[in-house]
Structure 1
Amino acid sequence: MTYSPRPDAYLDASVATASPARLLVMLCDRLVLDLTRGLEAQRTGDFSTAHTQLLHAQEIVLELRASLRTSDWEGGPGLASLYDFLHLELVRANVTRDAGTTEGCLGLVTDLAATWREAAMQTVADR
């Protein structure tokens, strides 16, 4: 008999052992994935799938916003505003089924994910 772990066991272990910087990058990467899937679903008229993907994206943005300590660094309030804006746009994109709004959010999130990835790599390099 062969042992077969749960399909998400690797992901669970990755999350449990990840540094805060790595967790942030993982969340941002998942946010990009959700928006990519949501946008494709909107474009093909699969609004049920789009809704599910955009809701998950909204949850991630809310988590990023809730975990942000705005007083810890100079850019905190600006990033908080970006997260608030992004959340409102994702809600609007979902309610109105507007692929253009979703596409705009995807562009923002893609840039944000790249920035956090670069910052995390820099943190590792500085150690």
Structure 2
Amino acid sequence: MSVNKHYQAYQDNSVNTASGGELTLMLYNGCVKFIKQAMKDLENKNFEAKNTNIQKAQNIIRELMVTLDPEVEISKQFMPLYEYILHQLKEGNVKNEKAPLEDALGFVVEFRDTWKQVIKQTRQTQYAQGARV
């Protein structure tokens, strides 16, 4: 088995065994990666790759939008922010401008970092409760 196949098996296993919170974190990380790559592609005038990476980031944001529970108040606050990120990604793509991509990236990084803290605090709480049992 080649190294690539081992890595792919590891990746598949990571996704298949991840909690919902960890999957969301993976989505945010992927979105950050694709936006950063799109910005590099734009600088290198590789417009086809830029477009592909922006579309990947947009698909991730759309997936995050679909997973929002409309009954939960925070979801009602997140939806317009996700819509704004999608708009900025589209603007950066159509106009070949870096500023809207940087703006979108800033939001995604902030969401990702906040989500990371939520996971960390949840684990600490679960660990503390488990230690008391």
C-alpha deviation, 1:41, in angstroms:
0.9
Unaligned runs of at least 5 residues, structure 1: none
More relative contact order, 1 or 2 (CA 8 Å, 6+ apart): 1
User: What is the identity, as a one-letter code, of the residue corresponding to 2:51?
Assistant: H
Equivalent pairs counted in the alignment come to 124
1:68-97 CA-partner distances (Å, limit 9, x unpaired): 11312x221111111111112111211111
- Report what 1:57 is aligned to: 57
The reply to whether residue 125 of structure 1 matches residue 124 of structure 2 is yes
- Report what 2:22 is aligned to: 22
Q: Give aligned-pair identity as a percent.
A: 28
Q: Distance in 1 between matches of 2:47 and 2:8?
A: 26
Runs of 4+ in 1 over 6 A off after TM superposition: none
User: What is the identity, as a one-letter code, of the residue corresponding to 1:91?
Assistant: K
- Report what 2:71 is aligned to: 71
- Report what 2:115 is aligned to: 116
Q: Distance in 2 between matches of 1:70 and 1:124?
A: 26
Q: Distance in 1 between matches of 2:68 and 2:20?
A: 12
- Report what 1:36 is aligned to: 36
What is the DSSP-based 3-state SS (H/G/I as helix, E as strand, rest coil) of the residue aligned with 1:70? coil
Indicate if the aligned counterparts of 1:61 and 1:87 stay in contact, CA closer than 8 A. yes
Whichever of the two has the greater Rg, that structure is 2
